[in-house]
Structures are given as C-alpha cells and as structure tokens.
Amino acid sequence: MRKTEELFIKTNPDYFDLSISDRSVSGVGSQLNDSTRNVRENLYSFLKGYNISSIFDLPCGDFYWMRTIDLKDISYIGGDIIKERMKKLSLDFPEKKFIYFNIIDDTNLPKVDLLFCRDLLFHLSNEHKRVALQNFVNSGIEYILMSNHPLSSHNMDTVTGGFAHINWQLPPWNFSKPIDILYDSNHGIDTKELQLYTRKQIMESLYL
C-alpha cells in the first residue's frame, strides 16, 4: 500500500470498509441529500454546455450519488485509491469503467475531456495539491472541475488525509477566475462550489 493511501486509512477508516452499503462512506458531502442535490440535478447540462463527451471522476469513492445521474452520451471513468472497491464497482456497473488510481503517485491519467475533482484536493497537503495539479496539466486533459470554498477568508495547509478549506483565489494559490462555476452546496462557511478551469489556466497559475 502506498504511503498516501496509508494516511487516508488513519483519518478515514470507514472509507476502506466495503461492507457498508446503507450510506456513502465517502463522507457527509456524498450523501443523497442537499449536499449533492444541485450537482446531481445540474451536472449533465453543465458539462454539455462545454461539449464534454468524457470525464474522469477522481475520486469516485463508492459511486454512491453519481450513480443516480443519467450521463446519457457522456463517457464515464471513475478512479479511486481502493483497489477492491474499484473491482466491485466494475462488476456492479459493467457499463462504466473504474480504475485504481492515485493522483499523487500515478501520472498516466485517462484521455478524457474533463477531470471531475470534487471533494479531493482539500484533503491533500499543499505540496500534494501542487503535484496533483501538475499531473493534470501534464495529462493534456482540457478541463478540470474542482471544489472551492468561496466564503473562506484564508487558506491553511493540512496533512494529506486531513482537511482544510480551499479558496483558489487567495494565497498561496492566487488563481485567476474560473471560466464557470457550478454551485455545489450551501452550508455556511462550508459552502462549496465547483470551479471550471482550462488546462492553460492551471498551467499559468502554477507558473509551469
């Protein structure tokens, strides 16, 4: 097992429990309630607005809420750090593709139009956030849709496997404005949105 995966086990033991099926083990932001309602209802039309025909969902977790979305003509690949869960999901949903993938250690991202990166980067240290975004840039994927906390007034570092709000428009990131926003959930300071960036924007923001 890789070191980054060991860090997640320590902080999120349920995430690795394949026996849990009555709720999502991916956290409070992955349940079938208001935490995912707006994304579930609007993701498909949002993606079609940019002619997206294929996505890589990283991390896909247990595919708990995403399975309720009819993506119609959009090809789907899910990726996560739990190899056994990816095998199980491949059997349960043969029309989809699931792969064992670690954004820190794996650099060969699938060839898709968009990297869907909801609720991942705020669990990584700043060092690993940068590595993940560099891997996205190097992949050649045109778009990334990633979580942001717009009401957060500052950014703090965390350990990989932990949690810290991210506001990409504030130091140390100071990213340009995204080309579009898909509102995620409204929970006070924990309010989230999904920001859409091009590969070129991320490359310029990271000074690559």
* Per-residue pLDDT tens over the stretch 64-88: 889 999 999 999 999 999 888 899 9
Q: How far apart are CA 12 and CA 24, in angstroms?
A: 13
Extract the tokens encoding 84: 């056994």
Instruction: Please write down the HEC assignment for all residues of 151-175.
Output: CCCCCCCCCCCCCCCCCCCCCCCCC
The average pLDDT across 185-189 equals: 74
pLDDT for the residue 104:
93
**pLDDT of 39 higher than 70:** yes
Q: How far apart are CA 62 and CA 48, in angstroms?
A: 24
- Those residues whose C-beta lies under 8 Å from the C-beta of residue 116, and which sit 6 or more positions away, are 55, 56, 57, 58, 145
Looking at every residue in the chain, the average pLDDT score rounds to 88
The reply to whether the predicted model has a pTM over 0.85 is yes
DSSP 8-state secondary structure symbol assigned to residue 55: E
Least confident of 18-27, 152-161, 189-198: 18-27
pLDDT for the residue 24:
47
Q: How far apart are CA 63 and CA 129, in angstroms?
A: 23
Q: What share of the chain is helix, strand, coil (3-state, %, to 5)?
A: 35, 20, 50
Domains of the chain in start order, with CATH, are 3-205 (3.40.50.150)
